[in-house]
Homo-oligomer: A and B are copies of this chain.
Amino acid sequence: MTEAVRTTAQTPAQARAVFRAGAGTPTDGWCTGYTQANLISLPADWAYDVLLFCQRNPKACPVLEVTDPGSWTTALAPDADLRTDLPRYRVWRNGELADEPTDVRDVWRDDLVTFLIGCSFTFEGALADAGVPMRHIDQGRNVAMFRTDRPCRPAGRMHGPLVVSMRQIPAGLVDTATRISALMPAVHGGPVHVGDPAELGIKDLSRPDFGDPVESQAGDVPVFWACGVTPQAALMASRPPFAITHAPGYMLITDARDVNYRIV
């Protein structure tokens, strides 16, 4: 079903309508060319700490948009309802995962400030255009994401480890992937590490902390990018009383174009 639905949902508005109706599938590979975003909503009294955490960890948390308190709309997708239009959410209470619904209207609060954060899916289209294979998409899987042993720079009450997404890339294309993603700093920019998972404290590439395991092919090298799930890991560590996020891999599809985040 997913493939058929994805093929017919050609515009972001159509995709959001599919998700609003309740379908909960990962969004990687949907609406090629349109920017996807991580979502994190917290009470307004946490907003400064979160925004400063993002400023201090810009590769992991490139902020695309911040709403005013209580607002569930965004200039990045003017007709979207941020409470219904993502395919799956996570609801957090005191840093613990409390629920994974497809709609958060019933738990929405008037004091929530929502951060939309750049997503590495944005540069995948540019990489694919340059001939870089996307193994996880070819295998019909969510991208693999890992908690690292590198702490983010803390900000007020917000602290936690860097989370990375990993892509297996043919060795001869690593330089291309590095250069192209570096030109898109608003969506994580260039890799944080190439080659050795142990350098990031990752023990087993076949057991990601978020998303799915992805099979490599001969000659592939694992390449690691800072990931927009980093704020979720910070929620688990920092334990705000309440928060809503997207489920990893189940993103907001915006009306913005990926090319707009490429700087040259």
Query: Chain B contacts of A190 at CB under 8 A?
Result: 263-264
List of B residues within 8 angstroms of A13 by Cβ: none
Please give, as numbers and ranges, the residues of chain B lying within 8 Å of A55 by CB-CB distance.
51, 55, 63, 66
> For the complex, is A17 an interface residue (Cβ under 8 Å from B)?
no
A108 within 8 A of B: no
Residue in B48, B66, B183, B185 whose CB lies within 8 Å of A47:
B48
Q: Known: A55-B63, A55-B66. Contact between A263 and B47, CB under 8 A?
A: no
By a CB distance below 8 angstroms, the chain B residues around A264 are 179, 182-183, 190
Q: Is A189 an interface residue (CB 8 A)?
A: yes
Asked if A52 is at the interface (CB within 8 A of a chain B CB), the reply is: yes
- Binary per-residue interface labels of chain A (193-236) against chain B in the complex, 1 for a CB within 8 Å, 0 otherwise: 00000000000000000000000000000000000000000000
Task: Name A51's contact: one of B51, B182, B189, B263 (CB within 8 Å).
Answer: B51
CB-CB under 8 A from A56, the residues of chain B are 66
- For the complex, what is the distance from the CA of A55 to the CA of B115, rounded to whole Å? 11
Complex partner residue of A185 from B48, B63, B179, B185, CB under 8 angstroms: B185
For A63, the chain B residues whose CB sits under 8 A away are 55
> Which residues on B sit within 8 Å (CB–CB) of A51?
48, 51-52, 55
Most buried by B among A48, A183, A189: A48
Contacting residues of chain A (34-92) with chain B, CB-CB under 8 angstroms: 47-48, 51-52, 55-56, 63, 66
* Alpha-carbon gap, A66 to B50, bound state (A): 13
Q: Which residue of B lies closest to A184 (CB)?
A: B263
Q: Which residues of B contact A182 (CB under 8 A)?
A: 263-264
The 9 A-B pairs of least Cβ separation, nearest first, read A48-B48, A182-B264, A51-B51, A182-B263, A55-B63, A185-B185, A185-B263, A52-B66, A55-B66
10 contacting pairs across A/B (C-beta < 8 A): A47-B48, A51-B52, A51-B55, A52-B66, A55-B55, A55-B66, A182-B264, A183-B263, A190-B264, A263-B263
